[in-house]
Each structure stands twice: as structure tokens, then as C-alpha cells.
A and B are shown apart, each in its own frame.
Chain A
Amino acid sequence: MKTLKVKDSEYEIKIGKITRVKRITALEKLFEITLPEKECINHVPGQFVVLSRLGIGEAPFSISSSPTKLRSFELVIRNVGKLTQALHNLDVGDEVGIRGPFGKGFPIHILEGSDLLFIAGGIGIVPLRSLIHYAIDNRRDFGKVTILLGCNSPKNMLFSDEFNNWSKRMDLNFECTVDRADPDWKGNVGLITSLIPGISLVPERTFALVIGPPIMYKYVIAELLKKEIPERQIIISLERHMKCGLGKCGHCQIDNLYCCQDGPVFSYDKIKNIKESI
């Protein structure tokens, strides 16, 4: 067996330097990552990168910051496995390998002029935050912006400071619910689906942008269809086990689609007949 060094491989990584770390909850940390010479990662909200630490391995992570943040990007990482444990031990100045961004993100240009209804369940706020920040930073490009957030308990809420700001802004409608309240919680209690019937919207000019755990989609989409939002205007992001990011390794396949290349963002009309999708 001979070995050849190559340059233009899809497995090439860029070195990302950690420039900020912030603990968000007991399980999640936010990492700001800066590429060499502050190169812009140039992503579309909804896309993901494959991050690695040599000797431990690679895993996919959604970009949580907006493309309007040019010189660095943010990942929010839940400590659930070997790689994420290692990442949680890293600090400012440490390096990681970055491939990507990969996949199809949200159709940000098509959304122009429309009303946006964001629906995030649990950790779904991490990827959706990229688009929410983008919409806030380009606020005049969109009509009414509504954000519905569901979370299992107040202590697991990911971006409390930001949510406080969003709830105070005149140009956003922000509503939040928790599955289980604690004694200090004064807001809504119940599943995210309970917030949807009360929203006033004009269905033909509304795009629903939904990310949450797999179980959530079926019920949320049913509520959105009751509101008569057209199927092609319900945009969701599907979680799968992306490994290579290149539409080859097979792990993320949803019937004949490769989630890492054809998705992870899909409009409901495109996947409603794909049986493995939701």
C-alpha cells in the first residue's frame, strides 16, 4: 500500500480557535470559534459544521450564531458523549478542527417580506437561534416576527438573557412555555403546541420555522395546518446522525434523502410523503 499526500480532499479541516466559552446550563456550554485570520465561516442559518478533536473524533454541530456575525461563530454543545465531554474541558485559546458548513439551511431570501413564526422545542433553539438572530439583525426585511419557545423546565432554559431581551422588544412577539414549572416560574406551563392556537396570523404570508425534538414535529405541524399555513411554508430541520457531511457514509439517510446534503432543513410539502422523516 502506497500513500499520497493530498490537498483538495473534502476531509480537509480548518483550525478553529476557541475565543469565548460560556456555561449556559449544567449540561450546555456556548463556544465562540474563530477561524484563522478571522475568516467568515459563511454559513446559512440551519447549516452545521463537523467539529473534531484529534484522537477523539468528529461530530456534527449546528451553528447557533447568525451569519451577520462575521468574524467568528458560535456552537452550543451539550455534554452527552466522549467528544462533547472533551470539548467541555477546553478553554479559550484551545483549538478544534472544523469542516463545513454543510447542508441546506433555511431559505433566507425566500422569507423576505413574510411574517415569521419561530417555534423551538428544547435544544431546537440552538440551531433556530441562528435564524432568529439573522431576522433581528435584518428586522426590516421581515413582517411580523413571533417566537414560541418550549422547554422542559425553567432551569434548562438555554438563553435566558436573550429571551428576556426578546420579550421586551416592541418588534418581536415572544412567548414561552415550560412542561414543568418550578416555584419561581410565572409564565405558561404546558406543551409548545398549547401556544399555537392563541397566535393570530395571516396564513398565506406566514412562514413557520420549526426545530425541536423528533417527537414534536407531528403535533406542531398538525396545529400549524389547522391555522391554514401552506405546507410549503412550514420549514423544519431534521436531526439525524450526520457523520461525513458529504452524502456518502449513509448514517443520516431518510429513505432516499441524505439529511446532511439534501437537508437538514426541509419544507413540509417535500418530506410529508417520506415515511422515515417525521
Chain B
Amino acid sequence: MERYVILEKKHFNDFILKIAKSQKVVAPVAKGYHQFAFEEVTSGDQISLNYIPTILPPKKYFMPPNETIATYDISKGQNITLVVEYEEIVLFGVHTCDLAGIQCLNIAFSEHPKDINYNIRKNKIIIIGYECNSYCDEYASCRLVHNHLPNGGYDLFFTDLENGKFIIHLHTLLGEKLIKKIGFIKEADESDIQSLDALRERKRKIFAKNEVPIEHEKIPELFDKVYDSKVWDELGKLCLACGNCTNVCPTCYCFDIIDESNLDLKTGRRYRKWDSCQNEEFAKVAGGENFRPERAARQRHRYYRKFRYPIDNFSRFFCTGCGRCSRACMANINLKETLTKLVEEQGMKNPDAG
């Protein structure tokens, strides 16, 4: 049976304070106007509960932007020592879009050949989700990809019942143990469950239609038709190839592998670093041939890696609807607008869908 407990909001500050006494807690923190970031906190009052998607998604804890995978000492030959970097953290306040992003990364890094670095690290992180009761802003498209409601991927999940209480879904034993250790909670009663149901019902009305006028199920079909669309050329003319969109994407996981020697020129490390398919050099080979030289082709590749290829490979979209790529784009390339243009071009517009 599903288990829910209640935390009164007046205890929230102490709740976080108490966890932070024994474990590192990271949570969304305000970083200026409309900017938020996951950072370490020591009490609940440092957390921005009402936040729009953070600048970087929680991906940065699962797949660090710069991650040592081996160390070496050339004076002892060409051998390397393989290492995994990890941190035991409680990740608090993850929206449903970002929970979906973590699930996508889990799948990509668990597929054969399994990535041991990622898989060791992810098991050191306790995930506490946090529900959005309404839209964060106009960039989000979480309804389109069915991420506006929780789909698992957390140990605990907080919902603000808007009556002075949080209701917490205990999803895993790990989450339940944490709650028991920290305290401040009581069992949810029938009226709390009814409040949660009523809130979800209100949400269904707020998120009544897709943010793009197409049915969820028809998106792969749309992408089967638009490979040669001139929409990609339009994006190519706008795109600055800066890689912002892929850096802030919760599901982009391309990387480079680089050796870096220390100043003694003997010891050093081999590390993985985030890379971007939007960079001009990304698909270039040693002989000079570049297999994706145009920005239009690179933008198309990004969209196909979100909406078409992962359907074949992983039976899911790798777009979480978080809207970060649109918010971060310096050239105002907007995911919702791009999809709408493709839908209209193919005559697949359905006003009932969105």
C-alpha cells in the first residue's frame, strides 16, 4: 500500500536543519531574478520552494561536468588507477521534469556496456521530489511529455497541500528510514489524502492541454516526416553553436575524455567532461572530415535525440519538458515554437490536443 506522511510547514526549517546535521543536503536556492541553482543548504529557510527549473539540472550531481575516471603516474609506466568520484547527498526539491531527466540518464548509463562510475554515484544520492502545483513559466512543456505528474524516480516526494502542510509520499525504504530518523512527521489521514486528490484534480485542469498542438503519441510519427524540413534551416540560421541548450538539458550526456598532466609532468588524471553535439568539432574525425558541419544538421540532431531516436532505443522521450533549452538560448530558439512549426508544416495540428 502507498504510504503518506504529513510534515507541517512550520517544521520544514527544522526538518532540513536536522538532515543537514548528518548529511550534505542540496536544494534549489535563489540566485537573482528568475535564476535558481541546486546548492548545499543547511536549513529549510535557504531553500526556494517556489522555483522555476534551476540553471543546471540535478544532472550535475549524477554526471559531474568534469569527472576524474583515472589517475596516473608516468614515472611508473602507462598504467592507470581507475577511480569513481562520488558524494553522499540528499537531493531535495526535484521537480517531476528533473526526476524524469534522472531516469533518462539512469537508462542511458545502465544500458550495456554499463557505466560503473555513474551507477556507483547515483546510488549514493537520496532523491526527494517536489511537486509543481501549477506551471513554472511559459517555456515548460511537461504536459506534452507526460511529466507534469510524478512518475517515480524518487525516495520521497513532497507535495504542498496549500493548507500549511506537506504530504510526503514514502516511495522507498531508504526514504522511509530517513523520515523516521528525522522525525517531525505524522501519518497522513483520510482528509490529507483527499486534499492530495483534490490538488491533483486541480492540476489536471491547469495542465489540461499539451503545450504544443499535437497528441503525445503522434510525436514519433511527426519526426518520421520532418527530417528534411526547412524548419531546421531556420534554426541553423539562428543558432550560435554555443552549446547552452545541451549543457542545461537534463538528459544530454555527451562527453569528451581528456588527459590532464600535473605540473610535475608525471602524475595526472584522465577525466570526462561534458561535450555538446552543437559544437562544430563534435563529429569531426582526425582526417578532417566533419560529419555534421552545418548548424542546422546539429540542431536537428539535438531534436531527434530528444523526440525520435530514444523512442527506438529506450521507449521514451529524452525531452522532459523542463524548458531549460529555450530559457538558455541566446538566439531565442524555442522548443515549443519549433515543435509547433513542425506540427503545422505537416498539417498534424490538433486543437483538442493542445
Residues of A within 8 A of B (CB): 1-13, 15, 52-59, 78, 80-81, 84, 95-97, 123, 213-214, 239-241, 243-244, 246-256, 275-276
Q: Are A95 and B83 in contact (CB under 8 A)?
A: no
Q: Are A84 and B68 in contact (CB under 8 A)?
A: no
Q: Are B275 and A54 in contact (CB under 8 A)?
A: no
Q: Are B86 and A241 in contact (CB under 8 A)?
A: no
Q: Are A55 and B74 in contact (CB under 8 A)?
A: yes
Take A244-B257, A248-B108, A276-B292 as given contacts and tell me if A239 and B83 are in contact as well, using a CB distance cutoff of 8 Å.
no
Closest-CB distance, A76 to chain B (whole angstroms): 13
Whether, in the assembled complex, B284 has its beta carbon less than 8 Å from a beta carbon of chain A, the answer is yes
Q: List 18 A-B contacts (CB under 8 A).
A: A1-B87, A6-B82, A6-B120, A9-B82, A11-B82, A15-B77, A53-B78, A55-B259, A55-B265, A55-B268, A58-B270, A78-B287, A95-B78, A123-B287, A241-B283, A249-B255, A252-B283, A253-B305
Q: What mask results when residues 280 to 301 of chain B are scored 1 for a CB within 8 Å of chain A, else 0?
A: 0011111101011000010001
Q: Are A4 and B289 in contact (CB under 8 A)?
A: no
Q: What mask results when residues 70 to 89 of chain B are scored 1 for a CB within 8 Å of chain A, else 0?
A: 10101001111111111110
Cβ-defined partner of B254 (8 Å) among A10, A56, A251: A251
Q: Are B256 and A243 in contact (CB under 8 A)?
A: yes
Bound-state CA distance A19–B59 (Å) is: 44
Cβ-defined partner of A276 (8 Å) among B88, B291, B308, B313: B291
Bound-state CA distance A241–B304 (Å) is: 19
Q: Report chain A residues within 8 Å CB of B282.
A: 241, 250-251
Q: Which 10 A-B pairs have the closest CB atoms?
A: A250-B254, A256-B309, A95-B78, A55-B261, A9-B82, A54-B72, A4-B84, A57-B259, A9-B116, A241-B285
Bound-state CA distance A123–B256 (Å) is: 26
Which chain B residues in 97-123 approach chain A with CB under 8 Å? 108-109, 111, 113-117, 120
Q: Are A4 and B304 in contact (CB under 8 A)?
A: no
Bound-state CA distance A12–B292 (Å) is: 30
Residue of A81, A213, A239, A249 ringed by the most chain B CB atoms within 10 A: A249
Closest-CB distance, A100 to chain B (whole angstroms): 11
Residues of B within 8 A of A (CB): 68-70, 72, 74, 77-88, 108-109, 111, 113-117, 120, 227, 253-259, 261, 265, 268, 270, 275, 277, 282-287, 289, 291-292, 297, 301, 304-305, 308-309, 312-313
Residue of A53, A84, A240, A241 ringed by the most chain B CB atoms within 10 A: A241
Bound-state CA distance A247–B80 (Å) is: 22
Take A11-B69, A55-B268, A84-B286 as given contacts and tell me if A255 and B81 are in contact as well, using a CB distance cutoff of 8 Å.
no
Q: Report chain B residues within 8 Å CB of A243.
A: 256-257
Take A2-B85, A4-B86, A256-B308 as given contacts and tell me if A247 and B113 are in contact as well, using a CB distance cutoff of 8 Å.
yes
Bound-state CA distance A229–B108 (Å) is: 38
Q: Report chain B residues within 8 Å CB of A95.
A: 77-78
9 additional A-B pairs beyond A9-B117, A58-B259, beta carbons within 8 Å, are: A1-B87, A3-B83, A11-B80, A11-B82, A54-B74, A55-B265, A95-B78, A256-B312, A276-B292
Closest-CB distance, A239 to chain B (whole angstroms): 6
Q: Are B270 and A240 in contact (CB under 8 A)?
A: no
Bound-state CA distance A57–B312 (Å) is: 33
Closest-CB distance, A11 to chain B (whole angstroms): 5
Residue of B79, B81, B108, B285 ringed by the most chain A CB atoms within 10 A: B285
Bound-state CA distance A256–B253 (Å) is: 15
